[in-house]
Each structure stands twice: as C-alpha cells, then as structure tokens.
Amino acid sequence: MKWDELADRMLEFSARIGKVVDALPESRLGRHIAGQLVRCGTSAAPNYEEGCAAESRRDFIHKLRIVLKELRDSRCWLRLILKSELLPEARLGCLLDEATQLCNIIAQSILTARNNEQSARKPRRQPPTAQSPASP
C-alpha cells in the first residue's frame, strides 16, 4: 500500500469516528467518551502525515509510534462504547475492524523501519584485499 493510500484510509477512519462521536448519547458517559474519542480518533491521520515528512528515520519511527498509540486508544474507546451498549455493534463492527487493521499496518511499518534502521547502522564488511608479497 502506498503512503497516500494509507493517508486517505486514515482520513476516512477519522471521518467515520466523527460520525460515531456525533451519534453518541448526551449522557455523562457518552459525552466523556465522545471527548476522548474525537481527540485520539482524529489525530492518527495528521500524525501519519507528519511521519511521512519526518526529518530522519528515527523521527519517522517516533511519529508512527504516536499514530499507533492513538489508533489503539481509539480502538479501546470503540470497545467501551460496545461494552456500555451506547451504540449497537452493527454500527461499530466495521469501524472497530478498521481500527485493528490500521494498528496492524502501522505496527508492521514500525518494525520494518526499525529493522531498516538497524541494518543501516551495522558496519559493512569490506571484502578482503589481496596482500602483496613481502619485499625481500
């Protein structure tokens, strides 16, 4: 998947989160979850965009870790909505699945970037050079 396709997918996730937040009941719990979910559920996309413009591989990994944290938070709040029966599972099932898929994609991207970083740090072995015969 190309970075711009993933960026679009994250924007779509954020938009869907916004619709869920607007559908939550105006109860004390509904308002609390809405506030938390709107923050973490809409922050993954811009943080991913920042990661794509990272200044270094380490910066990229750091930003992706933030994206993963926000996606995991979002997934937790979605699960709480289901456990609290604030919205029906039919409404959240696909969104919860998307949160899990995005978490898996970003987690794998972090692993790949870390492996690439470690490979870049390893000193490359120089091929042996031919020894010139000793002078008499």
Quick one: average pLDDT of 41-50? Answer: 96
The structure tokens listed for 88 are: 């029906």
Q: How far apart are CA 109 and CA 99, in angstroms?
A: 15
pLDDT tens figures, 60-108: 999 999 999 999 999 999 999 999 999 999 999 999 999 999 999 999 9
85: left (phi over 0), alpha (psi -120 to 50) or beta: left
Residue 114 included in any domain: yes
Residue 129 included in any domain: no
CA atoms within 13 A on the CB side of 60: 17
136 or 23, greater pLDDT: 23
The CATH number of the domain holding residue 21 is 1.20.1440.60
pTM above 0.75, yes or no: yes
CA 84 from centroid of its chain's CA atoms? 26
Residue from 119, 125, 29 nearest 80 by CA: 29
Residue 125 included in any domain: no
Total number of domains constituting the chain: 1
Q: Which domain holds residue 67?
A: 3-118
